[in-house]
Amino acid sequence: MSNRISASANAVQHKTAGPYSPVLRISAGDIVVISGQAPVNLDGKVIGETIEEQALLTLENCKAQLLTGGATLADVFKVNVYLTDLAEWPRFNAVYSQFMPRPFPARTAIGCALLDGFKVEIEMWAAPGAE
């Protein structure tokens, strides 16, 4: 069951620049936090040449780590996205918006240098099972 409630409808704000909720209310008990996930396979090899390929694998890795902690994507309330090239932001958003359930989590995106071969790294915070 999702414990995320968008509180953005009555917020005084600008039009959002992507698929995220500016204000999200959660009822939390346990919190699951996953460290930054990257576009690597189980052998640690970087997979994907494009931002779309790397975003999809990174999101799949996030999903797997959340499940290990007893959470699902529907439990995620905060996402931090790190991109090596902010010009790829719209292409990343296209993948992200198809992958993540609504309401979208609160989110921050940062342009920065990442480890060799990474175009994206994602960390997530989740509150599983809260009513």
What is the residue extent of each domain of the chain?
Answer: 4-126
Looking only at the bridges linking them, the beta strands covering 76-83 and 106-111 are parallel
| Band of pLDDT at residue 74, cut at 50, 70 and 90 | very high
pLDDT digits (tens, 9 = 90+) for 84-118: 999 999 999 999 999 999 999 999 999 999 998 99
Instruction: Please state which CATH class domain 4-126 belongs to.
Output: alpha beta
| Band of pLDDT at residue 6, cut at 50, 70 and 90 | low
pLDDT reading at 80 higher than 70: yes
Looking only at the bridges linking them, the beta strands covering 4-6 and 24-26 are antiparallel
| Band of pLDDT at residue 33, cut at 50, 70 and 90 | confident
| Band of pLDDT at residue 1, cut at 50, 70 and 90 | very low
Mean of all residue pLDDT scores within the chain: 87
Q: Span 19-34, mean pLDDT? A: 73
Tell me whether residue 43 is exposed, middle or buried, using C-beta atoms within 10 angstroms of its C-beta: 0 to 12, 13 to 18, 19 or more: exposed
